[in-house]
Amino acid sequence: MTKYEQAHQEHIFEPIYNEESKILILGTFPSVKSRENQFYYGHPQNRFWKVLAILYGSEPLVTIEEKKEFLLQHRIAIWDVIASCDIIGSSDSSIRNVVPTDLSVILENAKIERIYANGATAAKLFQKYQKPIVKRDIVALPSTSPANAAYSVERLLECWKICKEML
């Protein structure tokens, strides 16, 4: 199988949250690099960790443990909309046969006040698969993916600052 063929993939890592988490940031599904690294936003060109570190005045986040500690310290939960799907490589536009994650795991055990989508596709998939179940709204933010080249880090920061303002 090549990276250009549709393949069924299962989400392989747990959500990050604790009972103090106030915001939930949802992606679509882990990229190939994230699956290889076994953690969220693992592609070196993804700006997710850089944007959050700058927003909160943190040193760059390098290790998985630093990233987890940062999220919990700042009351941020992260997970994805999709538990499993058919996907070609890391292409969100190729996603088919979606099985959504069970967001009740977080929503029933944390103090989530607002849900954000990392990108339009995550927001769209949330609306289709999650909103009918959780009866909550989502705020779509521009994707931090390297595929979203239209947004510089500065432009992402301007949009993503709403996450910090919420806390």
Q: What is the pLDDT along the chain (167 residues), one digit of tens a residue?
A: 555 688 899 999 999 999 999 999 999 999 999 999 999 999 999 999 999 999 999 999 999 999 999 999 999 999 999 999 999 999 999 999 999 999 999 999 999 999 999 999 999 999 999 999 999 999 999 999 999 999 999 999 999 999 998 76
Predicted confidence at residue 2, as pLDDT, reads 53
Q: Which of 149, 162, 155, 138 is nearest to 27 (CA)?
A: 138
166 vs 139: CA distance, rounded Å: 12
Structure tokens at 102: 């069970």
| CATH annotation of 18-166 | 3.40.470.10
Q: Are strands 96-100 and 114-118 parallel, antiparallel or unpaired?
A: unpaired
Q: Please state the pTM of the whole predicted model.
A: 0.95
Q: Are strands 82-88 and 23-27 parallel, antiparallel or unpaired?
A: unpaired
